[in-house]
Structure 1
Amino acid sequence: MGVGIAGCVGGSDDDTLSYISRGGITQDAERELMAEWSEESGIDVTHQEVADDTEMVELIAANPNEFDFTNPVSWAFELNRLEHDEELFAEIDLDQVPNYDNVADNWQSAPLVEDNPYGIFYYISTQGLIYNTEHADVSSWDDIKDDEYDGQVTLQNSAVSRFGNSCASLGYDITEAANDDDLYEDAIAEMEEQHQNVFTYWTAGDEFMRLLREEQAAVSEGWGGRAENLQEDGQPVEYVIPEEGCITWSTAFVVVEESDMKEEVYDLLNFIYERDNAVELTQAHKYPIPLEDPPDEITERAEYTEDPDDLVWIDWSDIVPLQQDLEQRHNEIQS
């Protein structure tokens, strides 16, 4: 089936591609589709699972010949720039992935991949609000401040996420807020206001899912794909992108610079971007691949967004200089 053991660094040979990603339901879905390609091509795909993009970049940097491709979020591209002189990822040859044309034009030029020669857009991921329909009804960031949710809200324990969604709540552009002292302080104040009903902060998706399942939380910051997983388990939850907007953790496919299997990676990516395969993968992991003229199977996904401009994109070159202060402020709010 082409599935390797998570946690073991795998190697590439002429009959194997090595893929590194963040595990969970998403990578399980990718395993299944990639196994179909393996049956056709005769080339297996091994899977390495990591906790986050920082670990992903660290492993690739330490073992550049051991991995062939991955799907980072924006933070990994920033790490590649800051710490590795943009040497970890290869420039994408779009001529080798003709089916990428099936992706909607506006998403092919989304901020994650616009002017970024190393990535092609993969799927939409947003960080909005999940709520228990038997105990809550929310549609905006202001709603989580309502007294009726006292001690029933959980948010992500991430200073950057909290700053980003606080900017979204205020209608601020993150870049402008990061470079304007008054707007920055407004966003910090909004972080504090959104904290008032919080009983705990979560660090991993499985944690907020547990809090919702156990009805400890009526409202949680989270990802729509996970909300759909809860719905499939019979949980009475809904996901909403708040009316003010929210941050996105959308991903892109990249090819590792040191891979000697680039041609095979391109063939696999071209297979994934075949329209039927992209729909199949979206249905499996719940994160929409934004096809041109998308079918209902994609537009009905909780996180489907027609226009990338409707989401809040983090420019890490603006955020990195502020990270220490953001962490300190975030910790002070929780204390």
Structure 2
Amino acid sequence: MTNILTRRTLLKGAGAAGLTALAAPAIIRPAFAQSNELNIWSYSGFVTDAFRQRFEEETGIRLNIRPVSDQGEQFNLMAAEGSNFSADIVCVAGHRFYQFVDAGFLEAIDMDKMTAWDRIESEYSNANWVSRNGRQWGVPLVVVSTGLLYDSSQFEEPTSWDIMFDPANAGRTTYQIQDFFQIVMNYLGYDGSAVSYVGTPEKAQEAVNATRDFLIEHKSQVRRYYEAPNEIQQMFVNGDVTLGQAGSGPAAQLIIDGFPAGYTIPEEGGLAYAYGFNITRNAANMDNAYAFLNALLSSPENGAEIVRSTGYSSVIAGTEELLTTEEREALALDSDERSRLSWVDVETAPFIFDLIDTAAEEIRAA
């Protein structure tokens, strides 16, 4: 269960895309781990304490969990390990997994061993982000949106991202640069997905440069750029900010915990993507990895626990029926808001994210 937030308490359990570490992570053993262990790199809340206890008691397999805080950091750590990966399972974002696949870090999913695949909602089990080159490379787990988080005691529901750049709100806004960048591209009339720029990289560069310059011009609006979701949550709780670009998980947790917050997808749109678990190439504990994945997907109870620990929507069928009315309302977006979400395109992500990452560093340095 989540904790009641006050100005004096630290938040526990955050969402993905820069999530906080587990409180007491087990030490990851090297790739020659014994067969009764499984080494997992995971965002906080994806493997709940309750599931971990059940799984270990029922299977005798010990879960060694190392916290993930950033996709780039995880990629670099795996690259440094060469082909002798210390993790059997890693947690990769749907819009970034192509990097791990193309680098040879992941094992294609053996669908004959995925006995619980039918427990995934079909909308997500058939999504293109879990496949590449005609094969499945990941097991989807949660769905994330990126929108506008606001202090509902200070504002009525905003309809436009204009509010983030209004001088009246200077020093009261925050965002994660890379996550906000594509939204601002769309806000300025460019194609944040970069799909229309395929084959014309110079146009993509022009759009990125213009967006970079706009964000630098409005840099004085920002109280502080954040990285981990617990940072934005704490800034709202402390009263440091009243507006921010945020993931749906941190926003839902604030709402469920009683903070006067609202979350919406403004008229210029927001982003959607997913996170899942992936098996590493030549994983030392391959059989244990499939036992874990099938157990995790097998029950909507596991999905409900993940929702409560992360604030994100679970892809496990039947999860919604186990949530309270308050939890469902905190996670819900109306049909108009959902229609304004754009899924991050997997195939165009390779070149647009490289450009955005460079622009983000230039914004920080400006």
Relative to the length of structure 1, the TM-score reads 0.81
User: Cα distance, 1:129 vs. partner?
Assistant: 1.5
Whether contact under 8 Å (1:171, 1:244) holds in the other structure is no
Q: Determine which structure has the larger helix proportion and give its number.
A: 1
Deviation at 1:241, TM superposition (A): 2.8
Distance 2:166 2:59 in 1: 55
How do residues 190-205 of structure 1 correspond to structure 2 at under 5 angstroms? Answer: 190=211, 193=214, 196=218, 197-205=221-229
Q: Please report the RMSD computed on the Cα atoms of aligned residues, expressed in angstroms.
A: 3.3
Quick check: 1:68–1:261 contact (8 Å CA) kept in 2?
A: yes
The residue identity in structure 1 corresponding to 2:116 is: N
Distance 1:69 1:4, change over 3 A: farther
Give SS of 1:217's match: coil
Select 2:56's aligned residue among 13, 38, 41: 38
Q: Provide the residue aligned with 1:122 in structure 2.
A: 141
Aligned partner of 1:152 in structure 2 is 172
Match of residue 91, structure 2, among 71, 82, 86: 71
Correspondence for 2:120: 103
Q: Tell me which of 150, 158, 167 is aligned to 2:185.
A: 167
Equivalent residues of 1:152, 1:219 under 8 A apart: yes
For the 8 Å contact 1:106–1:308, the answer to whether it is kept is no
1:134–1:301 Cα change, 3 Å: closer
Larger CA deviation: 108-117 vs 37-46:
108-117
Other-structure match for 2:12: none
Alpha-carbon distance in 2 for matches of 1:43, 1:223:
33
> What secondary structure is seen at the aligned counterpart in 1 of 2:164?
helix
Percent of aligned pairs with the same amino acid = 18
Over 3 Å counting, the alpha-carbon distance change for 1:321 and 1:131 in structure 2 is: closer
What is the SS of the residue equivalent to 1:122?
strand
Q: How far is the alpha carbon of 1:134 from its aligned partner?
A: 1.0
2:47 corresponds to 1:14: no
Residue equivalent to 2:5:
none
Indicate how the Cα distance of structure 1 residues 234 and 278 shifts in structure 2: closer, same or farther if over 3 A, else same: closer
How many Å separate the matches in 1 of 2:131 and 2:340?
13
For 1:127-175, what per-residue CA distance to the aligned partner results, in whole angstroms no more than 9, with x for missing partners?
A: 211111111232432332334423321111x3x3233112343473522
What TM-score comes out, normalization by structure 2 length? Answer: 0.75
One-letter amino acid matched to 2:265: I
User: Which residue, 308, 332, 350 being the options, matches 1:317?
Assistant: 350
Q: Check 1:258–1:14 CA distance in 2 against 1; reply closer, same or farther (3 A cut).
A: same
Query: Which SS does the other structure have where 1:322 is aligned?
Result: helix
Name the CA shift for 1:268/1:7 in 2 (closer, same or farther; >3 Å).
Answer: closer
Larger CA deviation: 309-318 vs 185-194 = 185-194
> What pairs up with 1:266-285 in 2 under 5 angstroms?
266-274=290-298, 275-285=300-310
Q: CA shift at 1:281, angstroms?
A: 2.4
Q: Secondary structure at the match of 2:25?
A: coil
Query: 1:93/1:102 Cα in 2 relative to 1: closer, same or farther (>3 Å)?
Result: same
Q: Distance in 2 between matches of 1:199 and 1:208?
A: 11
* Cα separation, 2, equivalents of 1:229 and 1:213: 12
Contact 1:167 1:187 in 2 (8 A): yes
More moved, 268-277 vs 62-71: 62-71
- In the alignment, the residues of structure 1 paired with residue 117 and residue 160 of structure 2 have an alpha-carbon distance, to the nearest angstrom, of 34
Equivalent residue pairs, number: 323
Q: Where does structure 2 lack aligned partners over 5 or more consecutive residues?
A: 1-21
Partner Cα distance (1:37, 1:4) in 2: 19
Q: Matched residues in 1 for 2:334 and 2:88: separation? A: 30
Question: Aligned partners of 1:293, 1:57: CA distance in 2, in Å?
Answer: 33
Q: Distance in 1 between matches of 2:209 and 2:168?
A: 23
Displacement of 1:267 after TM fit? 1.7
